[in-house]
Amino acid sequence: MKQRTLAIVKPDGVSRNLVGTVLSRLEAEGLRIVAMKMIRMTKDQAKGFYKIHEGKPFFESVTDFMSSGPCVVLVLEGEDAIQRYRTLMGATDYTKAEEGTIRRAFATDIEKNVVHGSDSKETARFEIGYFFNALEVMG
């Protein structure tokens, strides 16, 4: 089934000049970029994005990190895009991520793990709408 998913190159990925590397990997995987922009979230915007994690021990830290510098946010489209992009990213904890994944190759920390990707159809819908309006996503 054709799906859309929300991808982010996180502030560590942008500051380490990994935007092109991440984009070329997902394009090579056959995922199509249908929306893209660079943004810098405020702390409150980062809290809204990660509201599902409110109350967890890492909530303050991850929202500080996500608002610490610019991110590149993208909408990706393709067959089974949500799971395919999750597989390409690798596990949250990069030490447990498979060889060949983006996080295994580039993450430096459980938090500074370079990329984000939606984990379900419901979160994809919420996350795409959090950053993009209908006119900004190519049909």
Contact positions vs ligand GDP (CB under 6 A): 58, 61-62, 92, 110-111, 113, 116, 119
Per the CB < 8 A criterion, the answer to whether 97 and 91 are in contact is: yes
> Nearest approach, Cβ of 92 to ligand GDP (angstroms)?
3
> Nearest approach, Cβ of 134 to ligand GDP (angstroms)?
25
Helix, strand, or coil (residue 67) = coil
- Spatial distance between the Cα atoms of 60 and 37, rounded to a whole number of angstroms: 25
Of 5 and 113, which has the nearer Cβ to ligand GDP? Answer: 113
Of 35 and 116, which has the nearer Cβ to ligand GDP? Answer: 116
- Spatial distance between the Cα atoms of 52 and 49, rounded to a whole number of angstroms: 8
Catalytic residue among 116, 117, 124, 127: 116
| 53 counts as catalytic | no
- Spatial distance between the Cα atoms of 77 and 70, rounded to a whole number of angstroms: 23
Of 32 and 86, which has the nearer Cβ to ligand GDP? Answer: 86
> Nearest approach, Cβ of 131 to ligand GDP (angstroms)?
16
Cα 128-7-66 angle, rounded to 5 deg: 95
Q: Tell me which residues are annotated as active site.
A: 116
